[in-house]
Amino acid sequence: MENQLEKNKLSPRRRAVNVLVHVLLAVLALIWILPIVWIILTSFRAEPGAYTNTFLPQGYTLNNYIKLLTDQNVLNFPKMFMNTLIIAICSCIISTFFVLSVAYSLSRMRFKFRKPYMNLAMILGLFPGFMTMIAQYFILKSMGLTEGSMIRFGLIIVYCACTGLGFQISKGFFDTIPRSIDEAAIMDGATQWQVFTRITMPLAKPIVIYTVMTAFIAPWVDFIFAKVLCRANADQFTVAIGLWNMLQKEYIYQWYTCFAAGAVLISIPIAILFLYMQRFYVEGMSGAVKG
């Protein structure tokens, strides 16, 4: 009852501001959602080609999805999907281990190499990632990892070899776990390894999930490393290069609506993963800022 009264007391000016804010938010939300709605509509569009004279499709069909999933002659989407899945699973396991190991060591252990390592990581982060990529390609080539099915190993290596540099968010989270818990466990005779696996990991579940997911998503959304490594080896393409290829001159007319279908199919799982892990990201962020 009192609440109601208070609401009625809102001054006209304040009410006007409220209406304005909601209208503004609605317009902004529309702008942000529009491209996504448009691509979903395009994925069901019956007319082929990239450009049409109307904003909304004239006819709707499921054929784009069917073609995308069954056509194996020109751009083999199911194969690309499997390639990416294998790479994503392998690199996810390795880089999760790397990131958490480094973050835990830097947060909990004290050793001579600690500060230099953190400074080194910062310095290496200032070089354009691209610059190392060209040379990485030459190194992988001299190891014979740029031909045929070896490209897959090359990509896995490229995706996880340097993940030890991306420890900041996890370290920020570990820093927020009180050290007294570790100290108590060590007093009871636990080794550092036991503290790491039995105490810190369960407590840091959000950040473990976050790390696993970011590592898993990376190969799906990276496009440039995969492009440089795969070059013209169509049977090694990952999803990202496949989709990019569908927009090139020779394919765009035939494949544009299939591109939209592929984009929708890939985006759904990734969007779900992202929406699920965003709160861990926020938590890690405020932890990282504090530490």
Partner 1 sequence: MKEDRITVKNALTYGDLYTKLSAVFMGAGLIWHRQIVKGVLVFLFEIVFWYFMINAGFSNLLMLPSLGTQEQGKVWNEAKQIYEYTAGDNSQQILLAGVITCFVVAAIVALWILQMRHSYKLQRLIETGHPVPTLKEDVRSLFDGNLHITLMTLPCLGILVFNIVPLVYMITMAFTTYSKEDGHLMLFDWDGLNQFMRVLNMNGNIGRQFWHVLAWTIVWAIFATFLNYILGMVLAMVINRKDTKGKAFWRFCFVLSIAVPQFVTLMIMNIMLQPSGAINVLLQNWGLISEPIPFWTNATIARITIIVIILWVGIPYTMLQVTGILQNIPGELYEAAKMDGAGSVKIFFRITLPYMLFVTTPYLIASFVGNINNFNIIYLLSGGGPTYVGDTAGQTDLLVTWLYKLTVEKQYYNLGAVIGIMTFVILTIITLLTYRNSSSYKNEEAFM
Site for partner 1 in 215-254 (CB under 8 A): 217, 220-221, 223-224, 228, 240, 243-244, 247
- 12 contributes a contact to partner 1 by CB under 8 A: no
Minimum Å gap between C-beta 176 and partner 1 is: 9
* x/- track of binding to partner 1 for residues 144-173 (CB under 8 A): -------------xx-xxxxxx--------
**Does 289 engage in binding with partner 1 (CB under 8 A)?**
yes
Q: Minimum distance from CB of 82 to partner 1 (Å)?
A: 18
Among 5, 135, 187, 232, binds partner 1 (CB under 8 A): 135
Residues 264 and 44: their CA atoms lie apart, in Å, by 10
Work out how close the CB of 235 gets to partner 1 at its nearest, in angstroms, rounded to a whole number.
21
- Residue 38: CB minimum distance to partner 1, A: 6
Nearest to partner 1 of 165, 234 (CB atom): 165
Q: Calculate the dihedral angle through the C-alpha atoms of 262, 263, 268, 274, rounding to the nearest 10 degrees.
A: 140
Tell me which stretch binds partner 1 (CB under 8 A): 62-70, 72-80, 84-92, 268-276.
268-276
Number of residues that bind partner 1 (CB under 8 A): 94
Of the pair 62, 272, the CB lying nearest partner 1 is at: 272
Q: Are 266 and 243 contacting, i.e. CB atoms less than 8 angstroms apart? A: yes
> Contacts with partner 1 in 69-98 (CB under 8 A)?
97-98
Q: What is the rounded distance in angstroms from the CA atom of residue 240 to the CA atom of residue 236?
A: 12
Contacts of 145 by beta carbon, 8 Å cutoff, 6+ apart: 151, 153, 154, 157
Minimum CB distance to partner 1, residue 104 (Å): 7
Separation of alpha carbons 283 and 272, rounded Å: 18
Q: 167: buried, middle or exposed (CB in 10 Å: 19+, 13-18, 0-12)?
A: buried
CB 156 within 8 A of CB 91: yes
The DSSP secondary-structure symbol of 200 reads: I
Terminal CA-CA length for the chain: 45
Of residues 169-208, those binding partner 1 (CB under 8 A): 175, 179, 191-193, 196
SS3 260: helix
Q: Which part of the chain contacts partner 1 (CB under 8 A), choosing from 66-74, 85-93, 130-138, 201-209?
A: 130-138
